Amino acid sequence: MSNGVRTVATPSSGLEVGKLPAAPVAELEGKAHELWTGEYYNEGVAGQGGMFDKLNEECGVFGVYGHPDASQLCYYGLHALQHRGQESAGICTVEDGKFNYYRGMGLAKEVFTNDNLEPLVGSTAIAHVRYSTAGESKLANAQPLVFKYREGDLAIATNGNLDNANIIKRELERKGSIFQTTSDTEVMAHLIARSEHDDIVDAVKDAMNQVIGGFAFLIVTKDKLIAALDPNGLRPFMIGRLGDAYLFASESCAFDAVGATYMRDVQPGEIIVLDRDGFRSERFTEEGRRAICAMEYIYFARPDSDIDTINIHSARKRMGKRLAMEAFVDADVVTGVPDSSISAAIGFAEQTGIPYELGLIKNRYTGRTFIIPSQELREQGVKMKLSAVRKVVEGKRVVMIDDSIVRGTTSLRIVNLLREAGATEVHVRISSPPFMNPCYYGIDTPDRKELIAAMNSIEEIRKAINADSLHFLTREGLLDSIGQGASGAKSGYCTACFDNEYPTEIVDTTKVGCACD
């Protein structure tokens, strides 16, 4: 199969599909659309993005200070955070001021071997997994990024997005800076290097105060590990302990994977420094409006993770229960779209008394498909990822629970999968409010005009996805379901993707997505 773009003409389905925008797979509108680019059919869809029309994962970071097996801990930590990014993985260690690092494209288990892990010696390390993108892979953007600095080498790993990165980059380029990547992380490195402060901690504080956005940074120097979280606490970031060692991770499930104990979440605007003098916490700015990303609780985080002491599985179950109270429908079975919607589906079933069944099964071993797919799979690529269980849904009224609708293309295909398997009715319930606005804090979202909920009414969306009924969880229901964490009255959530209320000033509306890209 040669490299390039494949297209196919598809017959009209006869459905009213509203204003569904073009997608990476053929649309059911009697038109020819791009199916895939690159060397293999499902390139860029190792995660939930691409043809499966889900929000692309953010990145994941993991750090270790004070453990002789730091690189091995990072390796297992990245495995636990793999759901946050499948495009690339990297580890950087420090031993006696010497930096050792390895980065590669693919999953952590594909990137790292005994041969390339063995040289990564040192008791201090930072690691990174990068989210999956469709079509293009750039090793240059794989993290951690390592730079030469006047005080020695410097390595940085980031989860999030700097909204004003492009503006700062243009200013720095006019002053003579030369950039080697397209990553926001490199912008931070230039700001640190150009700071008037010789002390690295002061230089990092200076740089942090020049950027706007949602970010969790891990920075390692020859003798320090520095962690910092944005003033609004948009990205999840937490501290753990393993014996005398300190660990940092995007999710608490990574601590469980290495036998570490959760200590606490990094606080908004906090900078933590670990060196030979021990652990110290400072502030680089005052805490802003507390705004943890609500999509972490809805979709991104693993069910066994806790964010701000709130368990993700429990929060999603509460979303499902609340959704059942807000939008009950008489049906025979409840099923969830694997994997992030299973918890909400269980909650919906418990609240209504309607049996929960595995009506949809996820194929976890699609991998990279070099074989040219059949015409049917060309038209319905979702079948490579999901299958409907005919004996469960045939002749049944089905409630299908999903966490979100982005463009609507996948929802249409899943509803049709259930209908083809014999479901007599398909009622769709979404455990989040309508996704109407792009994210500027690290989630790779389409433009507003490509978001089906921004351009259509709920009834128009229902028709577009071929559902018998459609309801979204209310914003109030969402916030009540998440609840209050350890921050208590200070707890707050970013719901800008639902209500357009961004916690920071948006200075560059073209800067949507992740800092890694």
Q: Which pLDDT value is given to residue 158? A: 94
Domain stops at, among 288, 316, 346: 288
Residue found under tokens 């040219």: 372
181 and 274 in one domain?
yes
Domain stops at, among 225, 260, 288: 288
- Cα-to-chain-centroid distance, residue 284: 26
Q: Which of 61, 76, 71 has the alpha carbon at shortest distance from 218? A: 61
3-state class (DSSP) for residue 256: helix
**Which residues belong to the annotated binding site?**
293, 340, 402-403, 439, 494, 497
Residue 435 covered by a domain: yes
320 and 241 in one domain?
no
Burial 16-38 (b: 16+ CB within 10 A, else e): ebbebbebbbbbbeeeebebbbb
Residue 394 covered by a domain: yes
- pLDDT(366) > 70: no
What average pLDDT is seen over the chain? Answer: 85
Domain stops at, among 259, 288, 317: 288
- pLDDT(516) > 70: no
pLDDT band at 6 (very low <50, low <70, confident <90, very high): very low
Q: Which pLDDT value is given to residue 506? A: 86
Q: Which pLDDT value is given to residue 511? A: 55
CATH number of the domain encompassing residue 403: 3.40.50.2020
Lowest mean pLDDT among 256-260, 466-470, 490-494: 490-494
- pLDDT(97) > 80: yes
Higher pLDDT, 4 or 421: 421
230 and 375 in one domain?
no
Residue 164 covered by a domain: yes
237 and 150 in one domain?
yes
Q: Which of 115, 296, 153, 140 has the alpha carbon at shortest distance from 216? A: 296
Residues 350, 321 contacting (CB under 8 angstroms): yes
Average pLDDT on 178-187 reads 85
Dist CA 364 CA 345 (whole Å): 20
Give me the helices (H) in 216-288, please: 253-258
Residue 24 covered by a domain: no
Partners of 149 in the beta sheet? Answer: 152
Lowest mean pLDDT among 25-34, 113-122, 324-333: 25-34
Q: Which pLDDT value is given to residue 513? A: 54
Number of domains in the chain: 2
145-149 and 152-162 strand pairing? antiparallel
365 and 235 in one domain?
no
Cβ burial, residue 15 (10 Å; 0-12/13-18/19+): middle
Lowest mean pLDDT among 173-182, 310-319, 387-396, 462-471: 173-182
Average pLDDT on 458-483 reads 97
| Residue 394 zone, left/alpha/beta (φ > 0; ψ -120 to 50; rest) | beta
pLDDT band at 40 (very low <50, low <70, confident <90, very high): very low
Lowest mean pLDDT among 58-72, 161-175, 260-274, 435-449: 435-449
Q: Which pLDDT value is given to residue 347? A: 98
283 and 321 in one domain?
no
416 and 268 in one domain?
no
Q: Which of 410, 400, 383 has the alpha carbon at shortest distance from 468? A: 400
Residue 28 covered by a domain: no
Active site residue 514: no
196 and 344 in one domain?
no
CATH number of the domain encompassing residue 60: 3.60.20.10
What backbone torsions phi and psi does residue 29 show, to the nearest 5 degrees?
Answer: -130, 15
60-65 and 124-130 strand pairing? antiparallel
Lowest mean pLDDT among 25-29, 257-261, 369-373, 452-456: 25-29
- pLDDT(43) > 50: no
**Which residues belong to the annotated binding site for Mg(2+)?**
340, 402-403
Residue 246 covered by a domain: yes
Range of 372's domain? 308-494
Q: Which pLDDT value is given to residue 49? A: 42
One DSSP character per residue, 401-457 reads EES--SSSHHHHHHHHHHHHTT-SEEEEEESS----S--SSS-B---GGG-HHHHS-
- pLDDT(50) > 50: no
Residue 134 covered by a domain: yes
444 and 389 in one domain?
yes
Average pLDDT on 425-451 reads 91
Which of 59, 74, 92, 514 is labelled catalytic? 59
Question: Model's pTM, two decimal places?
Answer: 0.85
Compute the 3-state secondary structure of the chain and give helix, strand, coil in percent, each to the nearest 5.
30, 25, 45
- pLDDT(393) > 90: yes
- pLDDT(510) > 90: no
Report the interhelical angle of 475-482 vs 312-326 (nearest 10°): 140
**H/E element, 62:** strand 60-65
Which pair of tokens denotes residue 158?
Answer: 């980031």
281 and 328 in one domain?
no
Residue 517 covered by a domain: no
Partners of 301 in the beta sheet? Answer: none
Q: Which pLDDT value is given to residue 149? A: 84
205 and 354 in one domain?
no
Lowest mean pLDDT among 31-40, 67-76, 268-277: 31-40
254 and 320 in one domain?
no
